[in-house]
A = this chain, B = another copy of it.
Amino acid sequence: MADDTGIEALIELMARLPGLGPRSARRAVLVLLKKRGQLMAPLATALAQVALAAKDCHVCGNISTDETCPICANPARATGEICVVEDVADLWAMERGQVFKGRYHVLGGTLSALDAVGPDELGIPRLVTRVAAERITEVILALNATVDGQTTAHYIADALAATDAQITTLAQGVPIGGELDYLDDGTIGAALRARRRL
């Protein structure tokens, strides 16, 4: 307990971040209070600036501080490939992989009759338009390997059937460093079906 309404309010806001509970939020605020000049003030400024400037890229749906995100604005990335992901987090994860050099389309979710999420909400018509307009040769469906993700992937593949673009998905198999004994049966089966010559 900080016994101070301003500090208590700050702790409550911090506790709403993922990975921080009430206890660790209090600990984080204490560290911030001790580093008011070096850490707390710069963090406040950075948060305010990003909160003001951050916007969804009007082309791909990535979040950045520019109208067009750095990936869409980079001419070197006009490779004719679009990678479709569910979420901005997945886009960032793909970028960390450092293999994909094309552009993205962020759906912002998966098709869901229950939550009334249809193709329009996910920007699928816009994706079809982009594939024609940007002369896309390959659309990589990097959706999560869940039922919802795969249903959405099949819908997108159907929607793009009339275009010339090739539709691909990420390979399924044993993760790098993975031990067979700890893998679920579905993954082992998929890896076996997709086996390749050494």
Q: Which residues of A line the B interface, CB within 8 A?
A: 1-4, 6-7, 9-10, 13-14, 16-20, 24, 26-28, 30-34, 36, 39-54, 63-66, 69-71, 88-89, 92, 95-96
Contacts and interface: CB of A to CB of B under 8 A. Distances in A.
B48 A2 contact: no
A48 to B, nearest CB: 4
A46 B33 CA distance: 12
A48 B30 CA distance: 15
Dominant secondary structure of chain A at its interface with chain B:
helix
B92 A2 contact: yes
Count of this chain's copies in the oligomeric assembly: 2
Contacts of A13: 39, 42-43, 46
Nearest to A95: B1
A18 B24 contact: yes
A65 B32 contact: no
Given A18-B31, A34-B63, 9 more contacts: A1-B92, A2-B92, A3-B69, A3-B70, A4-B64, A6-B65, A19-B19, A30-B92, A32-B47
Contact of A50 (B6, B20, B42, B66): B6
B51 A41 contact: yes
A45 B14 CA distance: 12
Contacts of A30: 88-89, 92
Nearest to A5: B65
Nearest to A30: B89
Contacts of A27: 18-19, 89
A47 B51 contact: no
